[in-house]
């Protein structure tokens, strides 16, 4: 009700202001003057541009301006500024409407180009390696923009048939020497490296691009494109067209771009979309050590936290408010809502209902993009795992379809692999486990720093490839100070028998301000103490769990961990009771064979493996 009231108020104010020839935002003022927003800020401060604030006491207040006052100011300041007539008064506007419309269509097409799969006459076997971007003059708060531009190029080239893209995350910044790049190109069969540099000077953006032959480090093509930041669509299109033309001179522009008026034409909407994605996928912590952050009294914010999720929701919502036909913003918002269940922040089915509604809206606009597939697959899997809905087969079918359409997109290989992982958990067929391992490794090679690789680390751990599993976690932490990656490291150390390292990791979690994380860590510390034979410490830890969660243990694997603990300290009767209770629950039987692997590598069960009762439970 509050939101509806607020939106109604905004609408009525806009109508009122329009009737009085009022510009009701910095954006409208800048468009009217034909200048960037920063220039308008400066003109207000230095030259007295007549801008009014709703709250005069707050510099952050919403602004407005009268067109009549601006026109008078322009006449007075004509000798001090390079005057450009207000947009609606320019003589060429009416005669140039057709050109403006065409440019807007191109802008829309560039965004569409990022998400659509294209058939072309490209020769088979072309492989483009996207080098880490160079960028300068981007403030700490503008880093989302280079990240978004990098993803644009990587995703757009991934849509071309017969063209494989190796993203910059694979080509580590430490491997920028000619010799290292040559070795990488031979290993990955890279045809050309794409090198891009971004330079920003106030509201001006310059993109410099080069195509480089790996065998001799020769630049075979280069191009620079410069324009105002709000014209970023044209910059991206200009560079993209140049690269495509160099890769295949026979390709016409019409075969590369396809106009679609349903995609966003609003730079502000696109800007908010990039910000939201950056926040959702980035760590905001200043350090990757939770203990240091805790001791400094700062909140540890990892890559996928409830706080960063809330910021993303706000930004995606702003993007939708600016452009109600921006499909990717609806998809991003749906993913945020699904995260509430996925990460157990608020375990309610209503979040997925909201996500479903947003995905249905996105489907009416443009479902033909990889984000649509990956988010819908995620929602299907959450419904299956969390609420026992019959959506596993839907997820599997959709994932297989998606991987054919978008073979280079992040997370799709991992999602197909996760479907095989679930199949293994239900039926115990080792080929399904191996397929899950293979597909997750494929995704890891394309995107080594993403949090999705947590599942790959788990698969390696269950396959007793402990060193490789640790390396995956270190890779994740290289791109993100993630609690999840650190937790997985603690598990890996435990199962490989390095109890001291495992204990050091879980002791960090015991002291952070997160009840779920504390409970997870206490159970694992209990398993470590049991393996050491320290019964008194086990009892202390279990008592602490009861104090934190007096009604029930807040962990769905609690009975399995309790079975491990009691078996480890020799209280077999209690151990068997919790083990039998665990496998008696239907939800655990759906992934029964995954838990078999956990039991297989847990040394706390070593003293009962040969007993008939144990064998009967496992079999």
Average pLDDT over residues 281-289: 41
Q: Average the pLDDT over each of 6-15, 200-209, 422-431, 538-547 and give the range with the smallest value.
A: 6-15
| Residue 8 predicted with pLDDT over 60 | no
Quote the CA–CA distance of 619 and 134 in Å, as a whole number.
56
Which position has the higher pLDDT, 28 or 130? 130
Per-residue confidence (pLDDT) for residue 236, from 0 to 100:
82
Model confidence band, residue 136 (pLDDT cutoffs 50, 70, 90): confident
Classify 546 as helix, strand or coil. Answer: helix
b/e per residue, 427-463, with b = 16+ CB within 10 A? eeeeebbebbbebbbbbbebbbbbbbbbbbbbbbbbe
Sign of the Cα pseudo-torsion (603, 605, 609, 615, in order): negative
DSSP state of 58: -
Per-residue confidence (pLDDT) for residue 65, from 0 to 100:
84
Per-residue confidence (pLDDT) for residue 228, from 0 to 100:
81
| Residue 368 predicted with pLDDT over 60 | yes
Which position has the higher pLDDT, 40 or 470? 470
Query: Tens digits of per-residue pLDDT, 419-445?
Result: 899 999 999 999 999 999 999 998 888
Average pLDDT over residues 401-418: 82
Best mean pLDDT range from 149-153, 475-479, 546-550:
149-153
* Per-position DSSP letters for 332-346, written without gaps between them: HHHHHHHHHHHTTSS
Per-residue confidence (pLDDT) for residue 74, from 0 to 100:
80
Where helices occur in 48-129 by DSSP H, the ranges are 67-76, 92-95, 97-115
| Residue 187 predicted with pLDDT over 50 | yes
Contact between residue 599 and residue 605 where contact means Cβ atoms under 8 Å apart: yes
Which position has the higher pLDDT, 234 or 565? 565
Per-residue confidence (pLDDT) for residue 6, from 0 to 100:
28
Average pLDDT over residues 474-487: 70
| Residue 397 predicted with pLDDT over 80 | yes
Average pLDDT over residues 133-148: 75
DSSP state of 325: T
Overall pTM surpassing 0.95 (yes/no): no
The closest of 479, 480, 444 to 459, measured between CA atoms, is 444
In CATH terms, the fold of domain 106-254 is Rossmann fold (3.40.50)
| Residue 263 predicted with pLDDT over 60 | no
Per-residue confidence (pLDDT) for residue 267, from 0 to 100:
61
Name every residue whose Cβ is closer than 8 Å to that of residue 9 and which is 6 or more positions away in sequence: none
Phi/psi at 163 (5° precision): -120, 115
Kindly list the domain boundaries of the chain, sorted by start residue: 17-93, 106-254, 514-619
Which position has the higher pLDDT, 180 or 207? 207
Per-residue confidence (pLDDT) for residue 167, from 0 to 100:
76
Which position has the higher pLDDT, 53 or 217? 217
Q: Average the pLDDT over each of 72-76, 243-247, 480-484, 528-532 and give the range with the smallest value.
A: 480-484
Burial of 485 (C-beta count, 10 Å sphere; 0-12/13-18/19+): buried
Quote the CA–CA distance of 554 and 521 in Å, as a whole number.
12
523-529 contact pairs (CB < 8 A, 24+): 523/553, 523/555, 523/558, 523/561, 523/562, 523/565, 524/490, 524/491, 524/494, 524/561, 526/561, 526/565, 527/494, 527/561, 527/564, 527/565, 527/568, 527/602, 527/604, 528/494, 528/499, 528/502, 528/503
Model confidence band, residue 108 (pLDDT cutoffs 50, 70, 90): very low
Per-residue confidence (pLDDT) for residue 572, from 0 to 100:
95
* Per-position DSSP letters for 435-478, written without gaps between them: HHHHHHHHHHHH-TTSGGGHHHHHHHHHTT-HHHHHHHHHHHHH
Which position has the higher pLDDT, 590 or 179? 590
Average pLDDT over residues 217-231: 86
Per-residue confidence (pLDDT) for residue 62, from 0 to 100:
66
Per-residue confidence (pLDDT) for residue 562, from 0 to 100:
95
Per-residue confidence (pLDDT) for residue 568, from 0 to 100:
96
Per-residue confidence (pLDDT) for residue 499, from 0 to 100:
96
Model confidence band, residue 550 (pLDDT cutoffs 50, 70, 90): low
Quote the CA–CA distance of 511 and 294 in Å, as a whole number.
8
Average pLDDT over residues 584-611: 92
Helix (H) / strand (E) containing 143: none
Model confidence band, residue 277 (pLDDT cutoffs 50, 70, 90): low
Per-residue confidence (pLDDT) for residue 600, from 0 to 100:
96
Domain 17-93 has CATH 3.40.50.970: no
Per-residue confidence (pLDDT) for residue 268, from 0 to 100:
62
| Residue 64 predicted with pLDDT over 60 | yes
| Residue 99 predicted with pLDDT over 50 | no
Which position has the higher pLDDT, 244 or 262? 244
Which position has the higher pLDDT, 501 or 406? 501
Per-residue confidence (pLDDT) for residue 109, from 0 to 100:
39
Name every residue whose Cβ is closer than 8 Å to that of residue 340 and which is 6 or more positions away in sequence: 306, 309, 346, 347, 348, 351
Which position has the higher pLDDT, 378 or 476? 378
Query: Tens digits of per-residue pLDDT, 198-215?
Result: 988 877 889 999 999 888
Per-residue confidence (pLDDT) for residue 179, from 0 to 100:
66
Phi/psi at 52 (5° precision): -110, 155
Which position has the higher pLDDT, 245 or 80? 245
Model confidence band, residue 54 (pLDDT cutoffs 50, 70, 90): low
Average pLDDT score over the chain: 75
The share of the chain scoring above pLDDT 70, in percent, equals: 70
């Amino acid at each position: 009700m509050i939101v509806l009231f607020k939106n109604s108020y905004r609408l009525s104010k806009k109508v009122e202001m329009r009737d009085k020839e009022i510009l009701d935002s910095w954006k409208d003022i800048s468009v009217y003057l034909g200048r960037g927003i920063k220039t308008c800020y400066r003109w207000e401060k230095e030259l007295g541009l007549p801008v009014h604030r709703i709250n005069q006491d707050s510099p952050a207040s919403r602004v407005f301006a009268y067109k009549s006052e601006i026109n008078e100011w322009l006449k007075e300041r004509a000798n001090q500024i390079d005057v450009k007539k207000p947009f609606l008064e320019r003589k060429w506007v009416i005669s140039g409407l057709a050109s403006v419309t065409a440019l807007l269509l191109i802008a829309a097409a560039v965004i569409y180009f990022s998400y659509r799969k294209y058939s072309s006459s490209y020769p088979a076997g072309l492989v483009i390696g996207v080098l880490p971007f160079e960028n300068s003059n981007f403030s700490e708060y503008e880093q989302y923009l280079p990240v978004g531009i990098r993803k644009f190029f990587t995703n757009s080239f991934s849509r071309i048939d017969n063209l494989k893209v190796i993203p910059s995350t694979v080509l580590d910044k430490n491997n920028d020497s000619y010799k290292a790049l040559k070795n990488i190109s031979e290993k990955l069969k890279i045809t050309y490296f794409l090198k891009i540099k971004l330079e920003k000077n106030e509201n001006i953006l310059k993109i410099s691009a080069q195509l480089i032959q790996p065998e001799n480090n020769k630049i075979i093509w280069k191009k620079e494109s410069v324009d105002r930041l709000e014209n970023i669509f044209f910059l991206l299109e200009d560079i993209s067209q140049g690269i495509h033309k160099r890769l295949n001179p026979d390709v016409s522009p019409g075969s590369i771009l396809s106009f679609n008026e349903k995609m966003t034409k609003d730079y502000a909407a696109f800007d908010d979309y990039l910000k939201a994605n950056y926040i959702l996928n980035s760590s905001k912590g200043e350090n990757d050590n939770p203990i240091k952050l805790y001791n400094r009294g700062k909140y540890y914010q990892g890559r996928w936290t409830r706080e960063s999720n809330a910021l993303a929701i706000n930004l995606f919502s702003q993007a939708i408010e600016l452009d109600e036909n921006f499909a990717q913003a609806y998809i991003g918002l749906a993913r945020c809502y699904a995260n509430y269940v996925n990460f157990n922040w608020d375990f309610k089915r209503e979040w997925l209902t909201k996500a479903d509604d947003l995905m249905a809206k996105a489907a009416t606009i443009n479902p033909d993009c990889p984000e649509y597939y990956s988010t819908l697959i995620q929602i299907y899997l959450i419904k299956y795992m969390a609420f026992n809905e019959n959506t596993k087969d839907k997820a599997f079918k959709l994932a297989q379809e998606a991987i054919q359409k978008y073979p280079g997109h992040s997370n799709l290989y991992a999602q197909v692999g996760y479907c095989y992982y679930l199949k293994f958990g239900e039926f115990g067929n080792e080929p399904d486990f191996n397929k899950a391992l293979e597909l997750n490794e494929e995704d890891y090679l394309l995107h080594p720093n993403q949090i999705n690789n947590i599942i790959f680390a788990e698969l390696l751990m269950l396959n007793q490839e402990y060193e490789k599993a640790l390396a995956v976690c270190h890779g994740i932490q290289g791109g993100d100070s993630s609690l999840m990656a650190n937790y997985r490291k603690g598990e890996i150390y435990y199962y490989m028998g390095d109890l001291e390292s495992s204990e050091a990791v879980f002791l960090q979690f015991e002291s952070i301000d997160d009840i779920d994380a504390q409970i997870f860590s206490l159970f694992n510390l209990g398993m470590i103490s049991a393996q050491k034979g320290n019964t008194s410490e086990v009892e202390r830890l279990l008592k602490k769990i009861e104090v934190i969660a007096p009604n029930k243990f807040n962990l769905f694997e609690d009975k399995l961990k309790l079975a491990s603990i009691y078996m480890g300290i020799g209280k077999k009767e209690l151990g068997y009771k919790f083990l039998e209770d665990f496998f008696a629950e239907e939800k655990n039987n759906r992934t029964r064979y995954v838990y078999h692997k956990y039991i297989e590598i847990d040394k706390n069960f070593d003293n009962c493996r040969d007993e008939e009762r144990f064998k009967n439970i496992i079999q």
